[in-house]
A and B are shown apart, each in its own frame.
Chain A
Amino acid sequence: MTLRLEHVSKSFGGLQALVDVDLEFPHGRLICLLGPSGCGKTTLLRCIAGLETPTEGRIRLDGRDLTDVPAHKRNFGMVFQSLALFPHLSVGENIAYGLTIRGVDKAGRRRRTEELLQLVRLPGVIDRPVSQLSGGQRQRVAIARALALNPALFLLDEPLSALDAKLRETMQIELRLLQRRLGISTIVVTHDQREAMTMADIVVVMDHGRVQQVAAPLDTYRSPSNAFVADFIGISNLVPGTLRGRDAVLVHGQPIRVASVPAAIAEGTHVTLLIRPEEVHVRPTETNGENHLRGEVSFVRDLGASIEITVRCGEQQLLAVTTPRERPPIEIGDAVAVELPASACVVLPS
């Protein structure tokens, strides 16, 4: 089941929701569409589901053109943001809804429904009204209902946004394990980068209707394709500078050596230097050396498990994260040196 999106665009009136999205989703993987609200990720999912028709481009599943196939003939399972459980039906009737439409007999429906409730680990609620379930239970019912017809593609639109933070984390892991067990091709829309990092095989980062990067979750963190992705995924220090030679970036007149520079970026152009906070080291001011910037500690946030140190270097604020074991003996107002290891500096186009 390889899903292929060919130059898909969608506009609502004058608003461009999707701009030339060209993607291929490999079989059996979990793909996260990640981006801020209004970036077009939900529109893209709805185009795949058949609930919206792309203005331009084609959608193919294993080569078959799906673009004009209506939603009810695609056999995709979908979990909606509001969950959209039918309030007039019981848990069992909700899950069996698709089976009823298909004309499966009563015994068959009952068997499959119980099997699905077992799968989502929610036994014994089959005859309950939906209104009596907790948020987490409703979530499981929605997942079971979407999987009832063995869909070719499993689509989830911000499925966990209604749950509280703790339950959400648990459900992320559970959902991922369920997906691996079933080996079903899955697309999850989310604005939560932690959720994407937890669940996804591949992350599609989107902004303003355009795909910004398609990569494995860790790659989006370690080598983001641009400043937007770097800023959106995780916490970043983004420092403006100018590329000098092929191995250094000038930051406020001081050269910072970098391990590598993308070939596409020409010398002398303005670039953005990305350093993750956990790679930044704060040293007592006496130490001097390569890639050291002088600054003053403007804030120390000690969270117990980790310590966040903000250092002001000229006009630039740099954030460093360290562990209690490695905490330098510093206070607010201390003069320090900040080391940016060359191997951790990523050069991004401005």
Chain B
Amino acid sequence: MTGPAPASASDELRLPRAAATRPTSPSLRQHALLLYPAAMLAVFFVVPFGIMLAVSFFHRVEGAFYEPAFEFANYARFLSPFFGKALAFSIWISALAAAAVVCVAFPFTYFLTRMRRPAQVRVLVFILAVLSLSEVIIGFSWSTLLSRTAGVSNLLYFVGLLAQPVAWTPSFGALLVGLCYLCFPYSVLVLYPALSRLDPELPEASRMLGASPLRTFFSVVVPVLRRSIISALILVFVFNLGAFLLPQVLGRPEHWTLSVLITDQAIFQSNIPFAAAMAVFLMLVCLALVALTLMFGQQRRLEG
């Protein structure tokens, strides 16, 4: 009985001493670990952006490339009704598609998180598969689906819902559908973690207080996840702003977004400085809109 007791007592005494000798201040080595991501960020993000920013002030040489300079001509050229309209349209269709996609994706993800685990995994794998499709494939698939010769309108004509097959592309609607399809997986994947973490007792508490499932969805589920919804909106909006292929495949020239014009300037007109200036401008507008959205979200939270 007395044999093992002293041994265990000394064990206990040794423990705190061992803990005390452990270094407590963050060492240089720990900071060095941060250097790697910092370097990657600099090489692949900060430097290219710096180059683009510099080029946006360069002087374009007609029929050649460009030469270093510091002039605002590129930005001045941008301030025309033509580019202004393109910018406004870009923001309009990106915002509209973002709103539409989140309106569909949010309830979809909500029901997805309420499914049983194996079913959830199957749906998520399918969504990831859709994500692997390139913009080109999605664009041309929709272009075919909405066409007069081979599209779904033939089916509707066949069952008698249409008097004759119709061409739905190129059009604003076709572009909108294409953008929504492109962004849907992203918004589901952004919403999924938050929705699956939602305490299932919250909607249940609402039910117990007399709210119907629909009422519960709008007065508890949506407001509780407001921030995730805003994140999804911002992500999809920014993603849509950058789409440069779908507007050309599914839209008419008047539906060409700023991204299309930037591509046009950079690749077909060889006007890299002007393309860079437009890209910088688009990014600034984009950042401003995101900041406004976040501020709006913050304000709502304070009121609530």
Give chain A's interface residues, CB within 8 Å of chain B: 49-51, 70-73, 75-78, 80-82, 84-90, 97-98, 101-102, 145-146, 148-149
Contacts and interface: CB of A to CB of B under 8 A. Distances in A.
Contacts of B211: 72, 97-98, 101
A72 B208 contact: yes
A88 B204 contact: no
B26 interface: no
B208 A78 contact: yes
B205 interface: yes
Interface string B213-224: 101100110011
A7 B259 CA distance: 67
A84 B198 CA distance: 11
B60 to A, nearest CB: 52
Interface string B186-214: 00000000000001011011111111110
B224 A87 contact: yes
Interface string B104-132: 00000000000000000000000000000
Interface string B122-148: 000000000000000000000000000
A71 B215 CA distance: 13
Contact of A88 (B199, B205, B208, B224): B224
B207 A72 contact: yes
A85 B226 CA distance: 16
B304 interface: yes
Contact of A71 (B201, B204, B219, B304): B204
A201 B143 CA distance: 71
A86 B210 contact: no
Contact of A80 (B201, B216, B219): B201
A160 B215 CA distance: 29
A104 to B, nearest CB: 11
A88 B223 contact: yes
Given A82-B199, A88-B223, A102 B204 contact: no
Contacts of A49: 208
Interface of B: 199, 201-202, 204-213, 215-216, 219-220, 223-224, 226, 304
A284 B164 CA distance: 107
A98 B209 contact: yes
Nearest to B203: A84
A148 B304 CA distance: 21
B226 A101 contact: no
A72 to B, nearest CB: 5
A70 B199 CA distance: 20
Contacts of B201: 80-82, 84
A86 B202 contact: yes
B204 A86 contact: no
27 contacts: A51-B204, A51-B207, A71-B204, A71-B208, A72-B210, A72-B211, A78-B205, A78-B208, A80-B201, A82-B199, A82-B201, A86-B202, A86-B205, A86-B206, A86-B220, A87-B224, A88-B223, A88-B226, A89-B304, A90-B304, A98-B211, A101-B209, A101-B211, A101-B215, A101-B219, A148-B209, A149-B209
- Residue from A84, A87, A145, A146 having most chain B Cβ neighbours under 10 A: A84
Nearest to B216: A72
Contacts of B207: 50-51, 70-72
Contacts of B205: 78, 80, 84-86, 145
Nearest to B212: A72
A43 to B, nearest CB: 14
A50 B223 CA distance: 24
Nearest to A155: B208
Contacts of A85: 205
B210 A149 contact: yes
Given A72-B207, A80-B201, A88-B223, 19 more contacts: A50-B207, A70-B207, A71-B207, A71-B208, A72-B211, A78-B204, A78-B208, A81-B201, A84-B204, A86-B205, A86-B206, A86-B220, A97-B211, A101-B209, A101-B219, A145-B205, A145-B209, A146-B208, A149-B209
